[in-house]
Structure 1
Amino acid sequence: MERAAADHAALMDGVYRLQRHVYDATRKYYLLGRDLMIEGLDVPDRGTVLELGCGTGRNLVLAARRYPRAQFFGLDISAEMLATAQASVERAGLAGRVTLARADATRFEPRDLFGTGRFDRVFVSYALSMIPGGERTVALGLDALAPGGALHIVDFGGQERLPDWFRSVLRAWLAKFHVSPRDDLRRVLESECERTGASLSMDSLYCGYAVHAVLHRG
């Protein structure tokens, strides 16, 4: 990894060295919309799915169970999180269908990591708000899609229909974990749609607490 990526990897390892053991138990209360996104992946029969910023592997395990004839891949910059993810995958008996790799989501080559360069579905769950230069992650996710594929994103929204005090408290708390909601997400996605010819659908969830976006490649 280059210096900036190595520094970010070290930061994430430090943040999650202990948190990874309680991550899934605690995050279910506020990482809202993840299961809705997984349900809507609509993975084709024997399709391939890539998660960028796979963390503990929680989403990959659920998605692999939901789509039992698909093959899954995940990457993350944190070796600590990947250790938890690998253990979760093996415990679920999915080691033959889920492949993990350590990589920076803003600069990766899927063929080098997984032996394939195109995926029917790519998804990013509450990771863009933690990735410096996350717009590059969106671009690489789109570029990794097979024809007719779709990129799914769920993350924090602008909380525009929630009380101002709630928004302030939430964002101050998230900042302690190096999380910064992407208020420019729609602009980034629209720009990438112009670049690639993809179409965009974007829904606000829970009064703006979260957003769910889908970009389709024709």
Structure 2
Amino acid sequence: MGQLRSAALYCRVSTGDQSCERQSRDLQAFAERGGFKVVAVFTETASGTVTARSERTKVIQLARDRRIEAVLVTELTRWGRSTTDLLHTLQELETYGVSLVAQTGLQFDLRSPQGKLFASLMSALAEFERDLLRERIRSGIAAAQERGVKFGRQKGQRVKADRYEARVMALKRAGKSYRAIAAELHLSKNTVMDIIHRVNDRKNSTG
């Protein structure tokens, strides 16, 4: 009998009312059938969109330390947050010589021709996913613009100046100089002058 390959089991559920017990039990049996020696079991509760996954990070650290040769999961969705994330982590595992093996039958060993083919397909899917996201963003902006929503800084808009206008004018009415106002509000003297001149111009135009 050949030497068993060392593996880590990674189990994830989406909500706190679910349990990783069944996944762990199924993966233990799967590892035994597949000739893997289980060196660690990691369980995690996190939705598919959650970025921070501390237990998954620990699995990757084991791979980085060359302590495992494979990661076993029940399904790829248990491991990856998205197509892009799955591809990225697969490539990272590959640099450590570690395969990702799903109980569903998919094995991502990027050193094999099959694994390289999967990587190419995953890369194409990841790019497709990014293109879809960009298209949704562009469509959303176009739809909002049709409704009259304006994006970005508008002509004549001075975000910083508008934010300080009331305080600048209050200090000016108190008799303080441009330089003193600038020092107190941590603004440049030119910004203070611009604010005061604009306010005075508005008053003159409406007066």
TM-score (norm 1): 0.31
Higher share of residues assigned strand: 1
Higher share of residues assigned helix: 2
TM-score (norm 2): 0.32
Higher relative contact order (CA 8 A, sep 6+): 1
| Larger of the two Rg values belongs to structure | 2
